[in-house]
Amino acid sequence: MVLRAAGCNTVYVDGSFVTRTEMPRDFDACWDDTDVDLAKVDPVLLDFSGKRASQKAKYLGELFPSNAPADAAGRVFLDFFQTDRDTGGAKGIVRLGLRRLG
């Protein structure tokens, strides 16, 4: 809910959380940074050092701004997460609307 408090309305979840993995150990997600007040975002969510160690420790997963560059090709995380890393084909992710969560 820290992202919602900063004005974030949507989070997209990817990784083993949305695959057939029986018990995922972590998750990958990106958050829609439109209209987000970055001054209100937990600084841990903006710390990508050490392979995002602080994010993993606090949130048990990794969270990226959806419009941040994800790879050398310049794809943003929202697009990157919707691409199968093995085939290059399209794949689904889970969209969570934060306004509806209480």
Query: How many structural domains compose the chain?
Result: 1
Answer left, alpha or beta for residue 7, where phi above 0 means left and psi between -120 and 50 means alpha.
Answer: left
What's the sign of the alpha-carbon dihedral 48, 3, 61, 80?
A: negative
Q: What is the pLDDT of residues 32-72, one digit of tens each?
A: 999 999 999 999 999 999 999 999 999 989 999 999 999 99
Give the pLDDT confidence score for residue 20 in this predicted structure. 63
Give the pLDDT confidence score for residue 72 in this predicted structure. 93
**Encoding tokens for residue 31?**
């958050």
Per the structure, the complete domain to which residue 9 belongs is given by 2-100
